[in-house]
Amino acid sequence: MLAALVACRKPMPISVDGSMQYTVFIQDDSGLSDASNFTEVNLIEKVRVTLTSNTYYSRDATPDQYTVYTDQDGKAVFDRLSLSSYNVLAEREVKISDAADGVQNTVFLRAVKLVNLNRQTHHVDTLKIGMTGSRGLMINEIYFCGPVNDANYVHDQFIELYNASGRQVHLDGMMFCKTAIDSFIGMDSVDYVKGIWLYQFPGQPLTGLSYPLNPGEFAVIAIDAYDHTQFIASSIDLRKADWEFFNPYQGDYDSPAPNIINIIPESSNDFFLSTLHGGLILTDGSEWQYGDYNERRRVQYVHIPINTVIDAVEYSSSRKSAKLLTYRVDAGLAGFGATRYSGKSTERRLPGFDSNNSTLDFETINHPTPGY
Ligand SMILES: [Ca+2]
Ligand SMILES: [Ca+2]
Ligand SMILES: [Ca+2]
């Protein structure tokens, strides 16, 4: 009897896992929607709402994902969810015609949010979707983990840029830098980001007009722009890469693709990306300084003023990694599940989709997509 009493006193579980419900109402914040049931509160139908779990994954590291479209009342209901935090992505394609020339353009209305489903069984939320992204030039894909192989092959790594702005941008004098491998106290308050290695596009920073990238165009930058399938069958052919990282101080292979050149003579590295956890900084190239020299790691740090950073993305195949980049340039982590030699890649959910949080902006894809 005493045992029974003790058992009764034990707090009952507040909810059973798999019993959570998430209801979200989507409002159009842009006024661009053409929904027939457009109401005063701007609730809109046919919005695709996707929940991506941050806790549960299938065996191949694909996160659990659920998609529901909003109904006529602008409502999407997700049933029987597990206790977890979820990335919520709401998006709808809208066609708008330019008043001047009548040309139809497709724009995406989007919103992202991180929700924690815990304790309380029924969650009700409202999200406002509107125009996001299109801020300009950005890092669109990072292929860092290497192809499926057992020969430690990673030479087919590449970076893809995308011009999400409505105007031509010029790559002249821009620089790529890798983040330092250690985070440091105070990194969120100083006016620079700390990195290693600097590779620079030809041309004059800020003012050069020799290397344009048109709106909606991609630029692929290979570590080595050759056909990697001749060495590893599952790899990729990068002969058509637009650019190639080239280190003249190292005896790097110089393929016909134009070069982005190492500007720190003491560095004997080709621009290899860390295969587990790292970060990439694209700067306008107008300013940088030498930082301290790390004896133990034998690396020369450089300081990149934050106001020259065009885009920066931190990635890791594991969610547990400590941040290397200040949240001011990237609040999240791309690349989860792109484990070393898995042949996976990490890419923005849609070209130009940018909320400054790579956890939300990027998804891991099964095969790299250089140039598209
Ligand atoms: Ca190279
Ligand atoms: Ca070359
Ligand atoms: Ca791509």
Cα–ligand 1 centroid distance for 269 (angstroms): 9
Phi-psi label, residue 361: left if phi above 0, alpha if psi -120 to 50, beta otherwise? alpha
Would the pTM of this model clear 0.85, i.e. be above it?
A: no
Cβ neighbour number for residue 213 with a 10 Å cutoff: 18
pLDDT digit string, tens, across residues 240-293: 999 999 999 988 999 999 999 999 988 889 999 999 999 999 999 999 999 988
Distance from C-alpha of 214 to C-alpha of 136, rounded to nearest angstrom: 11
pLDDT band at 67 (very low <50, low <70, confident <90, very high): very high
* Cβ atoms 216, 195 nearer than 8 A: no
Does position 4 have pLDDT exceeding 70, yes or no? Answer: no
As to burial, measured by CB atoms within 10 angstroms (0-12 exposed, 13-18 middle, 19+ buried), residue 292 is: exposed
Distance from C-alpha of 192 to C-alpha of 214, rounded to nearest angstrom: 29
Task: Name which of 368, 108, 44, 348 is nearest 221 in CA terms.
Answer: 368
Task: Name which of 201, 308, 343 is nearest 258 in CA terms.
Answer: 201
Cα–ligand 3 centroid distance for 295 (angstroms): 37
pLDDT band at 24 (very low <50, low <70, confident <90, very high): very high
Cα–ligand 1 centroid distance for 208 (angstroms): 24
Average pLDDT, the chain: 87
- The CATH number for 2-131, chosen from 2.60.40.10, 3.40.50.970, 2.40.50.180, 3.40.50.620, is 2.60.40.10
pLDDT band at 15 (very low <50, low <70, confident <90, very high): very low
pLDDT digit string, tens, across residues 126-179: 998 876 544 589 999 999 999 999 999 999 999 999 998 878 999 999 999 999
The domain locations on the chain are 2-131, 137-365
* Cβ atoms 33, 62 nearer than 8 A: no
Q: What is the largest CA-CA distance in the chain?
A: 86
Q: How far is CA 71 from the centre of its chain?
A: 30
Cα–ligand 1 centroid distance for 247 (angstroms): 6
Cα–ligand 3 centroid distance for 272 (angstroms): 18
Q: How far is CA 64 from the centre of its chain?
A: 19
Task: Name which of 200, 251, 247, 243 is nearest 225 in CA terms.
Answer: 243
pLDDT digit string, tens, across residues 287-340: 999 998 889 888 889 999 988 999 999 999 988 888 899 888 888 899 999 999
Cβ neighbour number for residue 123 with a 10 Å cutoff: 18
- Give the number of the ligand closest to the Cα of residue 161: 3
More confident residue, 268 or 227: 227
pLDDT of the residue at 97: 67
Cα–ligand 2 centroid distance for 219 (angstroms): 15
